Structure 1
C-alpha cells in the first residue's frame, strides 16, 4: 500500500491491481510496469540487479494493492494440492474473498473510492470480479466496498475475436500486403481462427501470413524480436495454429542466471532481472515471503492446473452498464497480441452513446494516443489508445500512462 504526492492514504483512491495471463504474475508488475520501483539497467550487472524509484509509478496517484493471482503465480501458494486447481471463475472468486478479508483488516480504507485494475488476461477476470463486488454490495455483504469503476489495459475479452483481429491488424500496420489481406479475407470469409483444414486456399494464405510475421515481436511490433531466449518453438509456417498467438510473447528460460551479450538491446533481457531479483533470499526476506512456501519464483508457472471456463467477458461488461461505473479501457496501438481494433470492436458492440468522438489526447504537448468516450445514463466508458505502446502499454509509455490514469481517476478528460 503506497501513497504520495497530491493526496493522503486516508482519502486517496484505492486500487486493486492484477496482471498478465493465467499463468504469469509477480514482481514484474511492481518493478517494470506501474509500481514504485523499477530496475536500474545502467547500474545493474547480469547477476546483481539494482533498483531505483519509478518516477512514473501509479502509486503517485492512488493507493494500490498488488496481488499475485491466481494462486500458484508469483509468491502466492495454497496449503493443499487441490488449491492449485484454478479457473477463471475461481480466480475471480478468490480475489473477491481476498478483498473482503483485506478491507476487514484495514477498515480505514472502506470509505475510499475503489477501482479494480489490471491488464492482459485480467480482461477476463476483472469484469467477473467487478460483478461479484456489485452483487455483494446489493445483497448487503459486509464490508461494503465503495466501488467506483474499473480499468483494463490491452484486455483479453473474447479469445476468438481477439485472435481473429490479428490479420486485419497486420494489414493496417503494413506487415502483410494488400493482395494477401484481400485474398485471405475472401478465401477465409473473415474467419482466421476456426479454419476448415480442407479449405486449402485459406490455409495457404494463413501460412503466408505466418511466414511474413513469424519474426515480428508481437508484444510491440516495432521492437527487436528476442525469441531466441524462449524455450517455446515458433509456430510452423506450414501448420497455422491461432492458439499459439495467446502464448506469452516474452516468456523466457527461467534457468538463465546471467544475461547474454546481445548485439543489440532486447526488452526481453530486462525480464531476466526479475527472475534473479525475486529468487534472492535477502529480497524474499525483505518482502516477508513465507519460507518454504515456494521452491522457486518463475515468471510463468506452466505447471498450474488452470481451466479456461470463460471464453468471453463481454456479457459481464454488458451487465455492468446499468451499474453506472466509470470504466477505462486502453490499448497500446502497436500490440499485436491483443490488437486495439479487436478491443474497440467489442466496445462498439455495447451500443453505447458516443459522448465524445475520436480525438487525440496529449501529454507534454505531444499526441499520446487517441480516445473516445461512451455513456449510458451514469455509466461512462473511456477508450484510449497509447501511441507507440505495446503489450502492455505502461511498460512502453510510462509517462503517458501515468498521465492517463491520473486524469481518469480525477474524472478529468484525457
Structure 2
C-alpha cells in the first residue's frame, strides 16, 4: 500500500473516531474574545463509534477545579443543546434589541449557570443538532439507546478531561429528558458500583418540568387548567366524573367524556401551553378527534417557525419568534467553522428534530427514582408555575408516589428580597416552583430572551449549594 494511501486511511480513522476537541476563542455576533472557556467537539459512541455526538463545554466562571460538573441533556427528544445553551442556562444569548433577521447579535447572560458550574451541553440523541451517525441503522433510536449513548459519551469525555473526575457530578436536563436524566444517573451509579473506569464523583441529578409518565403529566393538564381558571368548576367536575379522571385512554363510545373533553380542548386550544401568560401566535394544527388532542406522544410538539413575523406585518411578541435567531446563527458557515462542525454530516440544522425515528420504550421512571433515593443521591426538581406542557401538579403527583418523609415544609424562597417561588424538601429531593414576572416589550424581529424550561427561568445562584 502506498504511503499516501496510508496517510489518507489514518486521517479517515481519526475523523471517524470522534477525538475532536476545539477551544473556541470567539463567536460570530459577540464582539471580542470570549470571557469564559468554551470547547466544542465530537465523541464517538456505540459499535465502532458509528455515532458521533457533538457537545459544547463551558468551564465555570468561578472555580473550575472546585465547582460541580453538570451534563445537560436538552429535552425533545431531539432538541439541540444550543436550545439550552442560548435560551436557558448558557453564558451567552441573543441581544434581541440589536439583532436583525440577517444578523443575530449575541450578549452575555448574567443568569448563566456557568457562573457556578462547569457544564457539558450535549446534542443527544444522534440526529440532534450537529450529532450524526455514519450508518442509517444508528438513527433507529429509543429511550434506552439514548441513555446508554449519553452515559458512554460521559465516560469517554471524562477520560479526555481527567482533571474533572474529582468534581461533584450532576446529570441535568428538562422536559422529555425527565425520562433520560434518571436513566443516565442510574447507569453512572451502577457503573461506579461495578468498578468501571473512570469512577465518577456522582452527587445527584436535577431537572426542570420533567416529563415522567403519562398518567401524572398528561392527565394533570386538566387539573392545572382548572387551578388556573382556564376551565370552569362545572366542566372540571363533569369531565372528571365522565372520564374517571383518565384523559388519555379515552373510549370514544363514552359520549359524556368525549363531549366534555371537546369543550376542554376548545377552552385551551388558543393558550400558549409553554407559558399560559404569554401570547399564542402560532396556528393550531388541525385535530381530527379528541383522542388526538390528548395523545401523550404530542407532548413536545414544536410549532416554532410555522408562522414568523415580518417587518411589513409585525405581530404581538411571541416567545417562539425568538427561535428565528438561533436558526439563522447556527446555520451560518462562519459559526459552524468556529465550532469545527464537520461539513456534510447533516442536511440542515434545526432546533428540534421532529423527524427522528424514536421509539418511546420507557413508560415511566418512578422505580428509577426510588433506586437512586435508596442509594442516597440528591435530586432537585424545579417547575415553572405557568407551564401546561408538563404541569407542576403532575410532578407533585408522582413525587408523592415516592413515599418520602417531608423534612422541610412548603415555604417561599426569595430573590432580591422578593418572593420568587415556593418549594419543600422531601428527604433527599428538593422541589422548587417559581413564578414568572412579565414585562411589556416592543416588537422586534428577533425579540427578547427565552428563559428557562418551557419559557421560564431559574437563576444559578444556590443551585448546587447544600441549602
Q: How high is the TM-score relative to the length of structure 2?
A: 0.82
Tell me which residue corresponds to 2:168: 113
Tell me which residue corresponds to 2:343: 291
Q: Partner of 2:230: helix, strand, or coil?
A: coil
Tell me which residue corresponds to 2:355: 303
| C-alpha contact (below 8 Å) 1:12/1:113 kept by paired residues | yes
Q: Partner of 1:353: helix, strand, or coil?
A: coil
Q: CA deviation at 1:27?
A: 1.4
CA displacement 1:322-373 (0-9 Å, x = unmatched): 1111100111010000010000111111010100011111111111111010
C-alpha distance in 2, partners of 1:349/1:393? Answer: 27
Structure 1, unaligned runs of 5 or more: none
C-alpha distance in 2, partners of 1:192/1:126? Answer: 26
Q: Partner of 1:169: helix, strand, or coil?
A: helix
Q: CA deviation at 1:249?
A: 5.0
C-alpha distance in 2, partners of 1:353/1:42? Answer: 48
2:203 paired residue among 148, 155, 165: 148
C-alpha distance in 1, partners of 2:456/2:148? Answer: 32
Q: Partner of 1:30: helix, strand, or coil?
A: helix
Tell me which residue corresponds to 2:407: 355
CA displacement 1:179-238 (0-9 Å, x = unmatched): 11111111111111111111101100000000111000000001000213xxx7143576
Q: CA deviation at 1:252?
A: 2.1
Change (3 A) 1:347 1:333: same
Matched pairs, number: 400
Q: CA deviation at 1:293?
A: 1.1
| C-alpha contact (below 8 Å) 1:43/1:50 kept by paired residues | yes
Alignment of 1:8-407 (within 5 A): 8-228=63-283, 233-236=285-288, 241-243=293-295, 246-248=298-300, 250-253=302-305, 261-375=313-427, 380-388=428-436, 393=452, 396-398=455-457, 401-402=458-459, 405-407=460-462
| Greater Rg over alpha carbons, structure | 2
C-alpha distance in 2, partners of 1:56/1:128? Answer: 28
Q: CA deviation at 1:20?
A: 1.9
Q: CA deviation at 1:301?
A: 1.6
| C-alpha contact (below 8 Å) 1:154/1:392 kept by paired residues | no
Aligned CA-pair RMSD: 2.1
C-alpha distance in 2, partners of 1:346/1:172? Answer: 18
| C-alpha contact (below 8 Å) 2:282/2:307 kept by paired residues | no
| C-alpha contact (below 8 Å) 1:47/1:258 kept by paired residues | no
C-alpha distance in 2, partners of 1:170/1:329? Answer: 21
| C-alpha contact (below 8 Å) 2:72/2:171 kept by paired residues | yes
C-alpha distance in 2, partners of 1:254/1:293? Answer: 25
| C-alpha contact (below 8 Å) 1:211/1:237 kept by paired residues | no
CA displacement 1:7-26 (0-9 Å, x = unmatched): 32112110000112112223
| C-alpha contact (below 8 Å) 2:305/2:320 kept by paired residues | no
Q: How high is the TM-score relative to the length of structure 1?
A: 0.92
Stretch moving more, 96-105 or 300-309: 300-309
CA displacement 1:225-278 (0-9 Å, x = unmatched): 0213xxx71435766531167343543247979777433111111011111111
Q: Partner of 1:275: helix, strand, or coil?
A: helix
